[in-house]
Structure 1
Amino acid sequence: MGKRKKYDYEFRLQCVEAVLKGQGSITSIAKENGIDRANLRLWLKFYEAYGESGLKTRAKRHYDLSFKLSILKVIEQERLSLREACARFNIGSESVIIHWRRVYESEGKAGLVPKSKGRPATMKLPIKRKAKSPTRPLTREEELLKENEYLKAENELLKKLQALVQADKKQKPS
């Protein structure tokens, strides 16, 4: 599958106007300009429904759940083609509707709910941190407990460092 080619607004308008002025059929104008007939037909539908603004490229749009469901329902009830549905509801590509249909058939309504994109706003810290001590001054007993805790941690760190040095000496005999 090749890369999708994008056509600028002026080119689309020129092709549509050529068809409307009777300078050739959809097939002949599509062939002359090296585009697919289906694209030209879709451009014509958009032009007929929305005028020149219908040919302008649309930024990525986000549709809510109710809109997606209503479009799928109308397509089913009125037996609309994908091209007609795109033109009627101003959706840029038929593939969008095809995707909605597949997701709805496999996951139901839950699959059509818009999902947030990107990294979560806040990350959870793996270690719970102690709350800051109150601003009141520490009692003598609390100071001693804090110092004792610090010395125990320092002692553990030194023991681990000494064990690493011993292990390193055993691995590299001099």
Structure 2
Amino acid sequence: MKYSYEFKKECVESYREGKWPDTPEGVEEKNFHDSIRKWFRLEEVHGPEILKHGNNINWTPDEKLEIVSKVIAGKSIKSTAIENGINEGQLYSWVNNYKIYGYNGLVNKKKGRKSKNTTMKKTNIHKPKELNESEREELIRLRAENEYIKAENEIIKKEIALREKRYAAQLKAKKQRLSNNSKTKDTN
């Protein structure tokens, strides 16, 4: 059952005063009290805004990994979820995906049905994709590595050219010696 922000605030206020609000019909009292305790803890850590609907945060895979690693290190899912202001079920799902797929299990996947007509896809040729910090660092590292390899290749090419030049000079000198030797033999 979804409760309004105002209702949650009233329940938390009553709980703070040491009273339990009336349990709504069709809801088990124990479950309702557990929810109020959770709302109270969430509000203590994150403020009253956390009780509003639509507080969905788009977590990056790195942020998810940081939270999941706390759970794997032994911290409880419940306390970690409250500390980070996320649903316990969502955190359980992240932990499960991480255990099965590793880091790739934490990457956000596109939702919805795949398009049937792939030839009509729109492509943004004019707008390059924004890079995040780790991608930008990797790009810089790869560019530097590329420059190093290019310089290394140039050195190797120059060494090969020098060897070929020396070898050609040696062959020329050998031919001249042979021709000089044959001339001296002819004159004898």
TM (norm. structure 2) is 0.53
Distance between the aligned counterparts of 2:70 and 2:91, measured in 1? Answer: 12
Matched, 1:19 2:5: no
Corresponding letter in the other structure for 1:50? H
Residue 70 (structure 1) aligned to one of 59, 66, 70: 66
Provide the residue aligned with 1:140 in structure 2: none
Provide the residue aligned with 1:84 in structure 2: 79
Which has more radius of gyration?
Answer: 2
| Paired residues for 1:33-48 under 5 Å | 33=24, 34=27, 36=31, 37-48=33-44
Unaligned runs of 5+ in 1: 24-28, 127-174
Deviation at 1:99, TM superposition (A): 0.5
Unaligned runs of 5+ in 2: 121-188
Distance between the aligned counterparts of 2:94 and 2:107, measured in 1? Answer: 10
Matched, 1:8 2:4: yes
* Aligned CA-pair RMSD: 2.5
Instruction: Render the CA deviation track for 1:103-138: whole Å, top value 9, x for unaligned.
Output: 111111112111122356794349xxxxxxxxxxxx
| Paired residues for 1:103-114 under 5 Å | 103-114=97-108
TM (norm. structure 1) is 0.57
Provide the residue aligned with 2:163 in structure 1: none
Q: Residues 8 and 51 of structure 2 are in contact (CA less than 8 Å); yes or no, is this contact kept in structure 1? A: yes
Corresponding letter in the other structure for 1:38? D
Provide the residue aligned with 1:32 in structure 2: 23
Cα pair distance change 1:58/1:80, threshold 3 Å: farther
Q: Which stretches of structure 1, 4 residues or longer, exceed 4 Å deviation after superposition?
A: 119-122
SS of equivalent to 2:92: helix
Cα pair distance change 1:125/1:54, threshold 3 Å: closer
* Count of residues in correspondence between the two structures: 115
Distance between the aligned counterparts of 1:60 and 1:49, measured in 2? Answer: 17
Residue 57 (structure 1) aligned to one of 49, 53, 60: 53
Distance between the aligned counterparts of 2:11 and 2:46, measured in 1? Answer: 16
Quote the sequence identity (%).
Answer: 27
Provide the residue aligned with 2:93 in structure 1: 99
Provide the residue aligned with 1:134 in structure 2: none
